[in-house]
Structure 1
Amino acid sequence: MYPSELTGTYTIDPAHSRFGFVARHAMVTKVRGSIPLMEATAFLDASDPSASHVRVVLDVAGIDTGNPQRDGHLRTGDFLDATNHPHITFTSTAVKHTGDDAFEVTGCLTIRGVTREITIPLDHTGVAIDAQGIRRVGFEGGMTINRKDYGVSFNAALETGGVMISDKVTLEFDLSAFKTA
């Protein structure tokens, strides 16, 4: 399926990757943000994708929506509770090749101490040897979760009907990983 030289251990590059989210605000617009990567490793098996696995740890204190006041509120107990739950983690339990460059990565997503199984569709976006001679691979994808499933339930009713913040949050992944072994 893929060249055997792709098989190996990779580190997800925080300088060239993005773990983002999008939530609707006031029922009229979308707010985008990102949460920085603390650590992430993956093992890719080119001949048997089901033997591949990944673990990602995100730093809740570093959440960034471009608005310091909103970011501060997102760190509180109303939302992500960074003091008591400083990390968001994802640990894969299964990887499935679904066609051409498409994969599904199933695993346990933990937010605010609540763990749920999710399946993330990812597209393999390419392979390159960078200027330092290091092999890189890219993946991108996204999915939608319900934030209330993770205990993130703060909201406010609007005078015109509806609520301030959507329950549905879209997660966005743009990943660049370099081979370490």
Structure 2
Amino acid sequence: MANVKWSVDPTHSEVQFKVKHLMITTVTGYFEKFTVEAESEDENFNGASNIVFTADVNSISTNNEQRDTHLKSGDFFDVEKHDEIRFVGKNYENVGGNEYKLHGDLTIRDVTKPVTVDVEFGGTVVDPYGQHKAGFTVTGKISRKEFGLTWNAVTEAGSVVVSDEIKLQAEVQLVKQG
């Protein structure tokens, strides 16, 4: 039997990141344009493989144009040279029930590092239009400095402006293809 192919339903999916600012509040940002492709042996995502996520860095939004421009600059993502973030899943591991670990390689600014994210599989359903859909909540954490995002400033009191830890959160709905 051929693998089932899946693609993201962008109108029912979102990719967010959260970072501490001045170590007292959290700023949330998201990518407006991204893709997710995957294959599975069946509609329950057994044997999931070829899981590829890409985000268009030019679509970054933190609801602040000045901050978004800074994030696109050479201080952070350097979109003129690196306009895409890419994650390639290598192992989709069941850790009990509908909980999974997705191990893969994350590439930001031409730096690729192994990353593991937590995945909660919400199940599959056929929508009112006859489309087979699968839902996932993905969470994880990365160190931005490991990917060359090292810009920082220090306040008068000596606190850092932007934390190293970035929290990742995605709500992903995939649509069965073909």
- Paired with 1:148 and 1:135, the residues of 2 have a C-alpha distance of 39
Q: Among 148, 154, 157, which residue is 1:160 paired with? A: 157
Contact 2:40 2:47 in 1 (8 A): no
Question: Is the alpha carbon distance of 1:48 and 1:122 closer, same or farther for their aligned partners in structure 2, counting shifts above 3 Å?
Answer: closer
Task: Tell me the residue number matched to 1:116.
Answer: 113
Which letter does structure 2 place at the counterpart of 1:20?
Q
Please list every run of 5 or more consecutive structure 2 residues that lacks an aligned counterpart in the other structure: none
Q: Does 1:72 align with 2:66?
A: no
Does the CA-based 8 Å contact 1:50-1:94 persist in structure 2? no
- Quote the Cα distance in structure 2 between the aligned partners of 1:138 and 1:48: 11
Q: 1:28 aligns with which of 24, 27, 40?
A: 24
TM-score normalized with structure 1 length: 0.91
The percent of aligned pairs where both chains have the same amino acid is 32
**Is 1:143 the equivalent of 2:137?**
no
**Displacement of 1:48:** 7.6
| Number of residue-to-residue matches in the alignment | 176
Residue by residue over 1:5-44, the C-alpha shift from the partner in whole angstroms, topping out at 9 and shown as x without a partner, is xx61100111111111000001110000101333321112
CA contact (8 A) 2:145 2:164 kept: yes
**Distance in 2 between the 1:128 and 1:48 partners?**
13
Rounded Cα–Cα distance in structure 2 between residues aligned with 1:14 and 1:179: 13
Question: Can you list the C-alpha shifts for 1:78-126, whole angstroms capped at 9, x where unaligned?
Answer: 0111110000001111111111001111111000110001111100113
Corresponding residue number in structure 1 for 2:53: 56
What do you get for the CA RMSD once the two structures are aligned? 1.7
Query: How far 1:133 moved relative to its partner?
Result: 0.5
Quick check: 2:108–2:147 contact (8 Å CA) kept in 1? yes
